[in-house]
Amino acid sequence: MDKGRWRRLAGAAGRSITVWAASTVTMLVLAGALPDFRLQSPSGDSATRIAVTAAAGAGVFGLLSALVWPLLVRTLLLVPALVLGLLVFFLNGSLLLIALRLNPSGRGEAAPETAVVVAAVMSAVASATGAALAVRDDDAYRRRLYRLADRRRRRAAGEPGPSTPGVVFLQLDGVGHDVLREAIGRDLMPTAARWLGGARPSHRLTRWRTDWSSQTGASQLGILHGSNHDVPAFRWYEKDTQEVMVCNRPTSAAELQRRAVERTGDGGLLALGGASRGNLFGGGAEELALVLSVAARRGRDNRSRAGYFAYFSDPANAVRTAMSFVAEVFREIGQSTRARVERRRPRVKRGGLYPFVRAFATVVERDVVVAAVIGDMLAGRNAVYADLVAYDEVAHHSGPRGRDAERILERLDRSLALIEKVAEHAPRPYRIVVLSDHGQSPGETFQTRFGLSLGDLVRAGCGLPVPRRVRRTHSGAEARTAVRAALRRPVEEREERRPAGRRSEPLVLASGNLGLVSFPDVAHRMSREEIDRRHPALLSTLANHPGVGFLLVRSEEHGGLVLGAHGAEIPVDRLHDGHPGPLADFGPGAAAAVRRTHTFPHTADIMVNSAYDPVEGEVLAFEEQIGSHGGLGGAQGYPFLLSPLTLSAPAGTDPGTAGADGELVGAERVHEVLRRWLGECDGPQIPLPADRPDEQAA
């Protein structure tokens, strides 16, 4: 055995002894502080005997944590992931009780509730001690990160890694281009600022423009699978199947992914040795964790929750995440209470289960996804795409530029710093690309502004009775269904079910500030003329309402038709940036986006985009959100790409990737850019079909 190996073994033994000593001292302190926890017999023992008892107890607890905990977590993978996180304290306390029973001295004793506290504190101390020792040793640091990853995928010792770079795509869900720039300018994100500034910047920042449906389902499907054709909104009604599709519903996500693969003819961006973490869609990856499109599966093929094992197999990490989860719940309660006391406007309700949903998105999902990415990098995977939904969830309820959202940006930047550090220890070089799928536009809700929902307005325009009590609309935030999937609860909301009663009544669905009106009793997409014959006042009621920006309908005479206030009517094939008509306030590219959506088979009978104030940058959400996205108007349509300078420029190098103003347009174009970058790093990927129609062209 060489000297280097002896040195590593001696260092590992020294660290283990130090952690054991720290745990022993912690146990002694807790025994003196907690009345229901003792390390001596009722008649009393000498200090030496008590110390030996504490050392033995700490040693047995450490061995159980190292040997039994991973097996226990693996067994409990069938338990919903969020429930497992909440069981962490109980399981860890049970291990301590077992350790006290196995203690050779037989003198340890603790009440069950006290054991939970003692186990949590000891795990946290052991974790902190081990991490502090590892900081001074690169090999120890690397081994620490390996324990965060799936141990089944570790490379053999000394095995050389690939020489070509891999790529890590980190999606900061909902972070708009302008929000990122402001956060960097205010030093909220020092890691991103360092990449862009300084004497030797390493990255470039590029703004791109979404499709009309500016939400994660459409954007991520286009980015990962190269096609978001026929995704008109976050939720929509399909008349041929009589079902409501919802982008973050597992069954809908699986069907959308199947359609995209069928349309493009290839598996997706990650089909060659890639990993998909925390996403709505798999992207063709073989390695999947927390991917919603496979969450509806049952049996051995469902790996959607496999990433939880990689993280919760370490009891110290499990305890730390559980403690952070509880702290985040109380933080949200405090912040929402302060917002009510200060009477901030706009404001939405943040009670009920929302504090737990937020804690899941900002703590559990973040920790597990980052750990999975770390494991992928240390395993040398070719490409990794991961979605961090924390900012999007908080910004929906606190506002995209609120202090609550700013703190989330600070935490996300720390995750970027950690992943950058891991890249130094990976078996191959990595290019880190950070991007977003959409932004968010601020503004109060449509219902708050006008005292009625979009559904109430539609019913009034149809001459139907409007309920006196306004029914609350649900938020379409991405994290909510991820939590429900983790809990194995149905994800369908009451408003999203197909009406079972009077089928002639309109079905109204909301996607941020985009509304969709469908008539389920008509098998085809109704025309403007048919709607006027059935409900003569409906279209004029909607188009002339001050909270509505414009409508899109089908016309028997003109094809697609955009309707605005004061009788404005312009066929979509006559709309362009030089002659925008009712789309004037919505900026360049709006006409092309509307024209493309008009070609979708499942576009609603009436597409309603809320009004947009270009001066304030505000929209009116049809959901309970004060930061929203899903339609046209403002920052929601302008996400970003933060890419290494070693990769080619995003726009301008390939024909068709840029709009008329030189800006990268559409999620499908972003897919082409990312695929090109993979080719630059690790050779050509699966080629794009040559005959795919260019739907984004104006």
Q: Which residues on adjacent β-strands are paired with residue 561?
A: 553, 571
Question: Residue for token digits 């403007």?
Answer: 528
| Other Cβ atoms within 10 Å of 16 Cβ, number | 15
Span of 282-296, 314-328, 347-361 with lowest mean pLDDT: 314-328
Say yes or no to pLDDT of 697 above 60: no
Say yes or no to pLDDT of 140 above 80: no
Question: Residue for token digits 């009406």?
Answer: 499
Q: Specify the higher pLDDT residue, 32 or 697.
A: 32
Query: What pLDDT is recorded for position 449?
Result: 92
Distance of CA 217 to CAs 102, 235, 399, Å?
52, 9, 21
Query: What pLDDT is recorded for position 419?
Result: 93
Six token digits for residue 558: 């003109």
C-alpha span between 688 and 683 (Å, rounded) = 14
Query: What pLDDT is recorded for position 333?
Result: 85
123-134 pLDDT, tens digit per residue, is 666 655 555 554
> Which residues fall within 8 angstroms of residue 597, CB to CB, at 6 or more apart?
211, 212, 213, 232, 552, 603, 607
3-class state of residue 502 by DSSP:
coil
Query: What pLDDT is recorded for position 173?
Result: 96
Q: What is the mean pLDDT of residues 29-45?
A: 65
C-alpha span between 181 and 177 (Å, rounded) = 6
Query: What pLDDT is recorded for position 654?
Result: 44
Tell me the percentage of the chain whose pLDDT exceeds 70: 67
Say yes or no to pLDDT of 671 above 90: yes
Six token digits for residue 568: 């404005």
Q: What is the mean pLDDT of residues 180-191?
A: 95
E-assigned strand segments in 30-151: 37-38, 109-110
Burial of 692 (0-12, 13-18, 19+ CB in 10 A): middle
Q: What is the mean pLDDT of residues 475-487?
A: 52
Q: What is the mean pLDDT of residues 667-696?
A: 72
Confidence of residue 152 (pLDDT cuts 50, 70, 90): very low
Cα distance between the two ends of the chain: 68
Span of 84-93, 134-143, 189-198 with lowest mean pLDDT: 134-143
Q: Specify the higher pLDDT residue, 290 or 483.
A: 290
Query: What pLDDT is recorded for position 475?
Result: 53
Span of 11-25, 93-107, 308-322, 432-446 with lowest mean pLDDT: 93-107
Q: What is the mean pLDDT of residues 29-52?
A: 67
Biggest alpha carbon distance in the chain? Answer: 97
Continuous H helices in 548-621 = 590-598
Q: Specify the higher pLDDT residue, 492 or 444.
A: 444
> Which residues fall within 8 angstroms of residue 383, CB to CB, at 6 or more apart?
166, 167, 168, 169, 269, 270, 272, 273, 274, 275, 678, 682
> Which residues fall within 8 angstroms of residue 645, CB to CB, at 6 or more apart?
201, 202, 203, 204
Please say whether the beta carbons of 385 and 279 come within 8 A. yes
Q: Specify the higher pLDDT residue, 219 or 657.
A: 219
Angle (CA) 62-312-115 rounded to 5° is 45
Span of 44-58, 95-109, 139-153 with lowest mean pLDDT: 139-153
Distance of CA 267 to CAs 272, 274, 290, 292, Å?
9, 11, 18, 16
Among residues 639, 637, 593, which one has the least CA distance to residue 207?
639
Say yes or no to pLDDT of 109 above 60: yes
Say yes or no to pLDDT of 568 above 80: yes
Query: What pLDDT is recorded for position 87?
Result: 57
Query: What pLDDT is recorded for position 493?
Result: 43
Q: Specify the higher pLDDT residue, 146 or 645.
A: 645
Q: What is the mean pLDDT of residues 582-593?
A: 93
Q: Specify the higher pLDDT residue, 378 or 529.
A: 529
Among residues 362, 360, 339, 356, which one has the least CA distance to residue 410?
362
Please say whether the beta carbons of 366 and 401 come within 8 A. no
C-alpha span between 174 and 394 (Å, rounded) = 10
Phi, psi (5° rounding) for residue 92? -65, -40
For β-strands 383-388 and 166-172, DSSP reports them as parallel
Span of 173-177, 250-254, 517-521, 689-693 with lowest mean pLDDT: 689-693
Query: What pLDDT is recorded for position 24?
Result: 74
Distance of CA 396 to CAs 173, 390, 401, 417, Å?
11, 10, 10, 25
C-alpha span between 340 and 348 (Å, rounded) = 10
Span of 111-115, 269-273, 616-620 with lowest mean pLDDT: 111-115
Confidence of residue 313 (pLDDT cuts 50, 70, 90): low
Q: What is the DSSP letter of 305?
A: T
How far is CA 316 from its chain centroid? Answer: 24
Among residues 337, 213, 96, 215, which one has the least CA distance to residue 593?
213
Q: Specify the higher pLDDT residue, 585 or 467.
A: 585
How far is CA 512 from its chain centroid? Answer: 17
Q: Which residues on adjacent β-strands are paired with residue 433?
A: 169
52-90 pLDDT, tens digit per residue, is 776 776 667 667 666 665 666 555 554 554 455 555 556
Span of 443-447, 636-640, 680-684 with lowest mean pLDDT: 680-684
C-alpha span between 124 and 319 (Å, rounded) = 7
Span of 106-120, 230-244, 427-441 with lowest mean pLDDT: 106-120
Confidence of residue 695 (pLDDT cuts 50, 70, 90): very low
Burial of 299 (0-12, 13-18, 19+ CB in 10 A): exposed
C-alpha span between 683 and 96 (Å, rounded) = 51
Say yes or no to pLDDT of 613 above 80: yes
Query: What pLDDT is recorded for position 496?
Result: 47
Query: What pLDDT is recorded for position 653?
Result: 42
H or E stretch at 276 = strand 274-277
Rg of the chain's alpha carbons, rounded to an integer? 28
Phi, psi (5° rounding) for residue 83? -65, -40
Q: Specify the higher pLDDT residue, 400 or 661.
A: 400
Please say whether the beta carbons of 254 and 221 come within 8 A. no
Burial of 186 (0-12, 13-18, 19+ CB in 10 A): exposed
Please say whether the beta carbons of 260 and 225 come within 8 A. yes
Query: What pLDDT is recorded for position 163?
Result: 80
Mean pLDDT of the chain: 80
Query: What pLDDT is recorded for position 482?
Result: 52
Query: What pLDDT is recorded for position 471?
Result: 52
364-408 pLDDT, tens digit per residue, is 889 889 988 988 998 899 999 999 999 999 999 999 998 999 999
Span of 107-116, 291-300, 386-395 with lowest mean pLDDT: 107-116
3-class state of residue 172 by DSSP:
strand
Say yes or no to pLDDT of 357 above 60: yes
Q: What is the mean pLDDT of residues 30-43?
A: 66
Query: What pLDDT is recorded for position 691?
Result: 44
Query: What pLDDT is recorded for position 677?
Result: 96
The alpha carbon dihedral of 193, 194, 199, 204 has a sign of negative
Q: What is the mean pLDDT of residues 207-224?
A: 96
